[in-house]
Amino acid sequence: MNVDKVSGFMKENKMATFTIFAYLVVLIYSPSLFFDSLKMTSMYFMEMLEILPAVFIVMGLVEVWVSRDTIIGIFGKGAGLKGRLASVLVGSFSAGPIYAAFPVCYTLLKKGSSVSNIVIILSAWAVVKTPMLIVEAQFMGLSFMFTRYIFTVPAIILIGMITGKVISKEYIVKNSRKEGLLVEKIDQELPGHNCGACGYDSCHDAAEEIAEGEESPDVCVHLEKEEEKKMERLMGKEVLEA
Amino acid sequence: MDVTTIGLIVLAVSLLIWSTWKSKIKTKKSLKVAKDMFKGIVVEVISILALIGLFLTLVPPETIRVFLGDTSVTVATLISASFGTVTLIPAFVAFPLAASLVDAGAHLVSMAAFITTLTMVGFITAPIEIEYFGKKFTFVRNVLSFVAAILISLGMGLIL
């Protein structure tokens, strides 16, 4: 086996490396525990396979078909109470564990949702989704379920609002390791005058084209050489020094 | 499979059919987006699921009963909330467990804390959350959710 390849994999997938290591330790220590763990894992794995592909297909379609303005209108900063309730609603009719909610919220954020509303979606997804409430009523009784719901909905709206105050969208754009935010990163480099000199209606539209490689950064007349280079670096292009 | 999972799959398939009927190019593009999203998360999710499987085999949720013993409601609530924080259990496992703990003498308040942190606060899913939203976001959201879980359960204690 190629050593470079192995160490490269380990660096890129720290979590997986750690997990494999933990399993090896357990295998040496107790093979029966090892197989029990695998059995437990396969149950979670099946749950993931039922949900993730469907969630991602829906989100892929949202990304392509739903316009930015629509998302801003529903989940954007100006959406107010209606936006909060819409977020609770989306979370309530979701399926699957919270990790399936991360990519969904991330897509919505990219499309113009506010930080507080994606936190509300995340939380509602986690604690008040409908299938969960049904199981809860079955085992804990209706009054337990109902009381928890009454307390939880205002609580998650509050959590969302506080997180939205503390964390800016710019912070997430800078710190996310997902590539999809490239458009936002490029958009931040653009001047934001929406002057239209590049032929696009807004800087954001131009950023989308630049991110996809359909357009070169120098389409923007306001950019200095330095900024153009920075943008190309963002896009992972080698900048050739003249 | 529960109703919403089936609903979700039906929704995905029907939207896909609608999209293909409207525009093949756009559909192709959306499927590529979906594929990239999946590729970006799948290794990490599988490793985390495997870790949860390992953790729950080593420390089965029933062990929480041992710790709950004769402690006061406050301590029991904190223990339950902490246990909920480190694990991630599907609702169909968590609720029967919580119900059996209540039968065994656990207080409803601590079970409310357990269920809320279990689902909303994710110690084990934090690496994925950080990947998408950054460290500070993950920290703030999880700490606020933990505090909220305790407050929710205390509030429920006043009513139930």
Verify whether the Cβ–Cβ distance A179 to B40 is below 8 Å.
Answer: yes
Structure tokens at B7: 């609903």
Q: Do A121 and A109 sit in the same domain of this protein?
A: yes
pTM score, whole prediction: 0.80
Helix, strand, coil share (%) of chain A residues, nearest 5: 75, 0, 25
How open is the CA angle A177-A180-A185, to the nearest 5 degrees? 80
**Considering only CB atoms, which chain B residues are within 8 Å of A168?**
none
Summarised one tens digit per residue, pLDDT across range B1-44 is 777 788 889 999 999 999 999 999 999 999 988 998 888 888 88
The answer to whether B59 contacts chain A (CB < 8 Å) is no
Q: Do A7 and A33 sit in the same domain of this protein?
A: yes
The domain limits of chain B are 1-58, 60-160
Alpha-carbon distance of B100 to A52, in angstroms, equals 31
Structure tokens at A73: 């209108």
Q: Do A190 and A171 sit in the same domain of this protein?
A: no
Structure tokens at B36: 């990239």
> Of B3, B46, B134, which is closest to A171 when you measure between CB atoms?
B134
Residue A83 resides in a domain: yes
Residue with the two structure tokens 């997902």? A178
Q: Do A72 and A113 sit in the same domain of this protein?
A: yes
Residue A55 resides in a domain: no
Q: Do A14 and A87 sit in the same domain of this protein?
A: no
Nearest to A221 by CA among A190, A184, A178, A242: A190
Domain CATH code at residue A213: 1.10.15.40
pLDDT at residue number B136: 95
Summarised one tens digit per residue, pLDDT across range A94-141 is 877 888 899 899 989 988 899 999 999 999 998 888 888 888 888 888
The answer to whether A10 contacts chain B (CB < 8 Å) is no
Interface of A with B in 53-112 (CB under 8 A): 53-61, 63-65, 93-99, 102-103, 105-107
**Considering only CB atoms, which chain B residues are within 8 Å of A50?**
1, 5, 9
Structural domains of chain A, count: 3
Residue A150 resides in a domain: yes
Summarised one tens digit per residue, pLDDT across range B114-159 is 888 888 888 888 988 998 999 999 999 999 999 999 999 989 988 8
Residue A239 resides in a domain: no
Q: Which of the residue ranges A29-33, A129-133, A186-190, B87-91 has the most confident prediction, judged by mean pLDDT?
A: A29-33
Q: Do A72 and A163 sit in the same domain of this protein?
A: yes
Q: Do A211 and A135 sit in the same domain of this protein?
A: no
Q: Which of B16, B35, B95, B109 to mutate to test the interface with A (most CBs of A within 10 A)?
A: B95
Residue A242 resides in a domain: no
Q: Do A125 and A43 sit in the same domain of this protein?
A: no
Q: Do A153 and A166 sit in the same domain of this protein?
A: yes
Q: What is the DSSP letter of A108?
A: H
Q: Which of B144, B159, B160 to mutate to test the interface with A (most CBs of A within 10 A)?
A: B144
User: Can you give the residue range of the structural domain that contains A191?
Assistant: 179-234
pLDDT at residue number A28: 93
Q: Do A105 and A154 sit in the same domain of this protein?
A: yes
Q: Do A15 and A116 sit in the same domain of this protein?
A: no
Q: Do A74 and A169 sit in the same domain of this protein?
A: yes
Q: Is the predicted pLDDT of residue A237 greater than 60, yes or no?
A: no
**Considering only CB atoms, which chain A residues are within 8 Å of B36?**
179
The answer to whether B93 contacts chain A (CB < 8 Å) is no
Give the relative orientation of helices A225-234 and A182-189 as an angle to the nearest 10 degrees.
170
